Structure 1
Amino acid sequence: MVSIRAIAIAMICAPVAAHAQDAAGDTGALDDIVVTAQKREQALVDVPISISVVDAATLAATRSYELRDLSRYVPNFSVERQGAIDTIFIRGVGGGGRNIGFSTRAGVYVDGVYAGQFASINQDTLDISRIEVLRGPQGQLFGRNTVSGAVSIVTERPGSVFEGRVDGGIGNKDLFEIRGMMNAPLGEGVALRVSASHRERDGFTLNVPTGTDLDNIDRTSARAQLSADLSDGVRLDLAADYSRDRSNKQAGEAITDTFGTGPSEEPGAFRTPYNRDPRQRIELAGGSATLNWDLSDSATLTAISGYRWTRYDRTNDLDYASFDFFFIDFDQSFRQFSQEVRVAFGKGGPLSGVAGLYYFDESAKSLSVVSGGSMIGFLGLGLQPGPGGIVSARVKTKSYAAFGSADWELSDRLTLNLGARFSHEKLKITDYAISAPAVLGLASLPDYDDARSVDSFDPTIGLSFKLSERSNAYVKYARGFKSGGWNVDFISLPLTLDGVPFKTERVDSGEVGFKTENADRTLRFNAAAFYAVYDDYQINQFVDIGFGQTSLQLRNAAKVTSWGAEASVQAAPVRNLLLTADLGYTHAEFDRFPDGGGPGVDLDGKRLPYAPRLTASAGASYSVPVGFGSLDLSAQLSHKSGAFSGPENIAAQKLDARTTVDARVELVGDGKHWSLALWGRNLFDERWIDNRVFDFFQTQLVEYGEPRTYGISGRIGF
């Protein structure tokens, strides 16, 4: 695919970009973009934060049905699938996983409510108005565990017009998808909006012993919202959502035998030899009540009460072979409640901002069971079929915070940006117990209870300079923190002495940026450069404990630095034509990581896992008027450079670079009441290794990128 990569470089260097697919329509100008990144409505050009905004039209045109799909065109952002676990990386920094004592570095929020742990990250984009990807520490307004950034998902609100639509489609690998939405006014100032979706598709990987397709899609989601104007200036929004994912996601395809000493018994891509099919079940449910009260012309009170519940259940083969030796079951659940009260003030005045209070309460429990299969006796280790290793734990988190952010106009052009958040957090682990056979080199921990608390003051300070009516430059400093925790997993005996708890991580970040658009709004350009230093960086890695086995270790590396830049251009040079390009560069590495590769092996200067140097995309869309409506043509090219899956940066951890092309041809009827589209993703069938994993028995696993997909879809609206 050398020619494709040459095309990619040429398009990346071209001065074009965009995310609003129909922005260059009737007026020929780009749409205004309003965001709530600072918890109040502001024009994007006025917000001193590096933000990518993806609207509903872009989500539909690019077939971005889940948050992970944004990785194809949002720079310096990705949702990586690490052994079937989705994790967000922003500017090369990410982490978190199935360990309930190890939280994520980028928070996901749905209408202002924190979405929770790892199983909630890859949100369905059903009935979404826009997604705001905020890069850099967001501690001052979003709080804990946003040291690399935050993702704010804003859903469509009920409206005053009765309307609805049904979207459906089919494609290769027996793809079937259907979505529906209905908006109904119920009375004066009261409206209801409901939506639902279902997607299913066969997998690309064949598990040879069972004949089962792996990495299939089987996901159902639903959302309901009720909006009511209680009185003049007082609105109540009630929302509820539910999602169920029953996909057979695998940790990876084995390329070695069980102990990593020879090749797998099923060589070749998209074939596995597992005697037991991997199975994964994720259920998400939640609700929120949001009250907005206009206290005056210049002040609005907002109160958000949120509750979320998550269940994660997974079964996975541990020997990754046709022999029935070992398998593991994970069962985790999370319950959380949050309450936020804030006041936005100073609309149109020299001093404007937001101030508020926040409370968060989460309870998580986990049970992991390793069982011996029917053939375990042949290993000669004295083990019997049935449950042999058990890890159980409960973790409770409570967080209290006061926060504020203000913009003070020092002159007509110069604005001082101030923000701060004070957080008090209490964490407690109870009933942490490990029961494991000594022959496997794992610890037996009868009971472990611990508690910790942390106070954190996370400020931000910056200056914004208005170069013209539509151009702003800014410089800012921001601080954030990520909670400490505990290594709640199967661990080796030496780790029980000092390897269970790990410390709080902190980040100090500097950023400069520039945002502008021309007078007729046919060209928009945003760019930012950043430099961030992480102290006590928390890292998750497999440690060799001998006898062909590994133990998962969580520890604090000494220091990490991430620096780079991102840029985005949107251009509408002529009516109905939209050109787009986004470019991100990140240099993320360990400044100091003593003994990171084992005793006496420092990892100073090594790149962070899953931190590609370059992410880029370019695209074009053009609408051709026809007698009954329009013919819309669009294409998207995305590129991601190579990276490593582990901190050692060895060859067995190297991830491939890739360049993919997507395209879409759509007929749209007058009034946009119906459409019919042909689409394709990864049109040139690019092949690459997306992830590499070393598992418990030193088995080397790889995950391949998704091959070419194509299909037809349509929409009917009323």
Structure 2
Amino acid sequence: MKARNQILLSGAATIAMLASAAPAMAQDASETTDTNEIIVTAQKREQNIQDVPISMEVVSGQRLDDFNASDIKSVMNYTPNVFVQSTAGNDVIYIRGFGSPPANFAFDQSVSLYVDGVYAGRSRQAQAPFFDLARVEVLRGPQGALFGKNTAAGAVSVVSAGPTKDFEGRLTGNYNFDFKGVDFSGYLAGPITDTLGARFAMKVVNQDGYIRNLATDHDDPETKQQLLRLTLKWEPSSNFDYTTKIEYANRDIIGGITVSSPLTSSQDPQRTRYLEKSALGDEGTKTKSWMISGTGNLSIGDYTLTSVTGYSWFNANIVNGFDQTIPNGTGAVTNNSVYNSFPERFEQYSQEFRILSPTGRTFEFIAGAYYDHGKYRLDQFQGFNILNLAGSPYFGRIDSRFNQTSESWSVFGQGTLNLADTFRIIGSLRYSHTSKDADFASRLVYGPFAIRPISSAVGSLSEGNVDPSATLQYDIAPHIMVYATYGRGSKSGGFVSNTLGTTNATFAFKPERSTNYEAGIKSTLLDGKLVANVSIYDTQFKNLQVSVYQPATSSYLTGNAASATSKGIEGSLALYLSQNFDIQASGAYQDVKYDDYPGAACLASQPTTCLPATNNLAGYRVAYSSKYTGNVSAHGRFDFGDDLKLDITGVAAGRSKYFNSDNQSPIFGVQKGYVKLDLRVQLADQDDKWFVAFVGKNLTNELTTGSAFNLPAPITAAPRAILYLEPPRNLSIEAGFKF
């Protein structure tokens, strides 16, 4: 309570300080002509981000393109209090310390991803969207009212680029010297007829990895990827338009990102591994996916009726192996084999209708309804072929299958009461209903398989959630706005999909709920040259869904933690010193702890007498959360006559230390704090018809890990830590032209 009060008081003091300075700045601010405004659709309308009472960050498509962004993890560098956990299974987004762990594949995510308005709750749905983007909007805190679908911790909205009024195109080629491969991307856009516009974009990647596999003489993980998107926008009149987007992705990752490390020393990951082909085939991930969306807008008088239709499908297979090198410094290896595979198949249909009232009236509103239907199948193949510490053979294989059919619908509305030109009250409400039917069954392929019991389970659920929010918004001076928000979010319950030994008694888990209290200030000053925002928050979760690895049984404990709280402060600053030079920075502090967590798996720091049945993690920090995160970027442009220009962009992004193992080992499970530096130096003509650029990522070669766990006996003859290594320094040359 003391820490919470200190944070809230410090944030309140910051807001009060800025508010007290507002009158002095008002004279300049009232004349502001903001040429640097950022337009977002976080509230289902086009708005200046400075008018939106939400703690959020926006990363432009150009910035992501400049640094060869390929997935959601690329966004993490620019958004404090956001973390993306890297594993061989699912990459998971955490906002303000909360997310849905990757171990249970069937988890709905606490941070939901939306692609052009379509819900994409599974990471393999969103491979194609991460190229040729307009922007990525990251909304922190529950967004239950307008986004609704499983946004208990926040939402990420990806908006792809659309057709242009004039014909144009671009082609870019990149060669990465460290990954020894190429990355080609490009687009063609423009009008086909007076009423129909189109955009075709593509991206092709063929690159080696950054970890040398001594068993195969191969650099893992090799990436082969083909991404395509076709966008058509039909606008037959000023009252109607319809946009269709069809995206296809084919992605092959050959090899893994795990390396072995001792259990007795801190993380010092190496860039070599020893892993032979397993009985399930080559390690890696293969994914094919389709995403189709259709968005129509019809003007009915002063009102706008919008329809968003979505279809998503993917077929994927993950084959995991674990580095067989014994971490004893001798370089010796064993013929032990530990492997698993997770074939997945997913299909989803969705439909949303909403109506928007005109703006500029005393009362404005948004109202709508949403429906989706999904089918998901997950197979699991898991096997061992090892000699244990006593030299006895230990082998076996067990398979399982999980099927789930889900259906959800909701109705929602948000109203804004403009009591004065400077004061607004915003209220919203969403009711969501979710039903799921699922079954699980495992079978012994060969054995013995002593630590993996054969089991089955069947379950169904039907539940409703109500998510309200209320916001007070006040303009204390022109271009200076303060707000205070109360909001709730929820995520549906579900089922355990891939924990062997699951029975009816352990199959289901409850929905989780969040409550958020937030206050902030957004200011645009000095004729738009200075943009400064600060927010403070207190987010509380009930029945937080967790899936924690237990080395003692080499299994996952999946269920609900009783409660947890995250509280902190977030801020951003942008300084546009001139048309050719700007500096932007953002940072955050968060304190995330369990309030009550009975029946929790024991942590490495707890006594050896600890038993999950009597354990409670109240007061312990939540894993995968840094106290401090932040970034600074600077861009400068230098003109050489009327023909050439040089653009230099540097980004420094970092975070303080955090536990990245489920058991929060203070030895092998801590990722120390780091700062990573990226740099882009580009020479181009003044009309941007061509360019040549140098791109350096992670210039100081910080070797960091996205996750860690203890691979125990008897699964392995030499118990060790398995680390998921993130990319080291990589340098590339890029060239392109535009027409």
TM-score (norm. length: structure 2): 0.87
Q: Deviations over 1:98-144 (max 9, x none)?
A: 63432211111111001231323566421111110011001111113
Distance 2:176 2:337 in 1: 38
> Residue 624 of structure 1 corresponds to which residue in structure 2?
638
Kindly indicate whether residue 691 of structure 2 is the aligned counterpart of residue 678 of structure 1.
no
> Residue 452 of structure 2 corresponds to which residue in structure 1?
442
CA distance 1:162–1:498, change in 2 (3 Å): same
Kindly indicate whether residue 337 of structure 2 is the aligned counterpart of residue 325 of structure 1.
yes
The counterpart of 1:578, out of the listed 579, 582, 591, is 582
Aligned-partner SS, 1:516: strand
What amino acid is aligned across from residue 224 of structure 2 in structure 1? D
Contact 1:160 1:189 in 2 (8 A): no
The counterpart of 1:232, out of the listed 229, 238, 241, is 238
Contact 1:28 1:574 in 2 (8 A): no
| Identity, % of aligned positions | 26
Aligned-partner SS, 1:573: strand
Q: Which runs of 5+ in 1 are unaligned?
A: 1-26
- Cα deviation, residue 95, structure 1: 1.7
Kindly indicate whether residue 738 of structure 2 is the aligned counterpart of residue 717 of structure 1.
yes
Distance 2:443 2:628 in 1: 42
- Cα deviation, residue 40, structure 1: 1.3
The counterpart of 1:503, out of the listed 510, 513, 520, is 510
Contact 1:401 1:421 in 2 (8 A): yes
CA distance 1:381–1:497, change in 2 (3 Å): farther
| Bigger mean CA deviation after superposition, 223-232 or 428-437 | 428-437
Matches within 5 A, 1:383-532: 383=395, 388-435=397-444, 439-445=449-455, 447-492=456-501, 496=503, 498-532=505-539
The counterpart of 1:540, out of the listed 524, 530, 547, is 547
RMSD: 2.5
Aligned-partner SS, 1:139: coil
| Bigger mean CA deviation after superposition, 61-70 or 392-401 | 61-70
CA distance 1:668–1:382, change in 2 (3 Å): closer
> Residue 273 of structure 2 corresponds to which residue in structure 1?
272
Contact 1:84 1:249 in 2 (8 A): no
CA distance 1:442–1:120, change in 2 (3 Å): same
- Cα deviation, residue 422, structure 1: 0.2
The counterpart of 1:136, out of the listed 121, 128, 141, is 141
Distance 2:269 2:463 in 1: 49
Distance 1:674 1:219 in 2: 25
Distance 1:650 1:669 in 2: 53
Distance 1:278 1:383 in 2: 19
Contact 1:636 1:661 in 2 (8 A): yes
CA distance 1:61–1:118, change in 2 (3 Å): closer
CA distance 1:382–1:633, change in 2 (3 Å): closer
> Residue 622 of structure 2 corresponds to which residue in structure 1?
608
What amino acid is aligned across from residue 443 of structure 1 in structure 2? P
What amino acid is aligned across from residue 34 of structure 1 in structure 2? I
Aligned-partner SS, 2:360: coil
Contact 2:254 2:283 in 1 (8 A): yes
- Cα deviation, residue 477, structure 1: 0.7
Kindly indicate whether residue 356 of structure 2 is the aligned counterpart of residue 367 of structure 1.
no
CA distance 1:676–1:544, change in 2 (3 Å): closer
> Residue 54 of structure 1 corresponds to which residue in structure 2?
59
Kindly indicate whether residue 223 of structure 2 is the aligned counterpart of residue 211 of structure 1.
no
Q: Deviations over 1:498-545 (max 9, x none)?
A: 322111111111111111101511111111111011011111111245
Distance 1:659 1:442 in 2: 42
CA distance 1:570–1:364, change in 2 (3 Å): same
Distance 1:544 1:690 in 2: 18
- Cα deviation, residue 194, structure 1: 0.2
- Cα deviation, residue 465, structure 1: 0.5
Q: Deviations over 1:138-189 (max 9, x none)?
A: 1111113211111101111112211101011112121311111001311112
Distance 2:563 2:269 in 1: 39
> Residue 638 of structure 1 corresponds to which residue in structure 2?
653
TM-score (norm. length: structure 1): 0.90
Q: Deviations over 1:353-412 (max 9, x none)?
A: 311000011100011112455989x9745756xxx2011010111001001112111122
Distance 1:55 1:310 in 2: 27
What amino acid is aligned across from residue 329 of structure 1 in structure 2? S
- Cα deviation, residue 199, structure 1: 1.7
Contact 2:623 2:661 in 1 (8 A): yes
The counterpart of 1:86, out of the listed 84, 88, 91, is 91
Contact 1:391 1:490 in 2 (8 A): no
The counterpart of 2:167, out of the listed 162, 166, 183, is 162
> Residue 557 of structure 2 corresponds to which residue in structure 1?
553
- Cα deviation, residue 432, structure 1: 3.6
Q: Which runs of 5+ in 2 are unaligned?
A: 1-31, 326-333, 603-611
Contact 2:378 2:401 in 1 (8 A): yes
Matches within 5 A, 1:56-71: 56-71=61-76
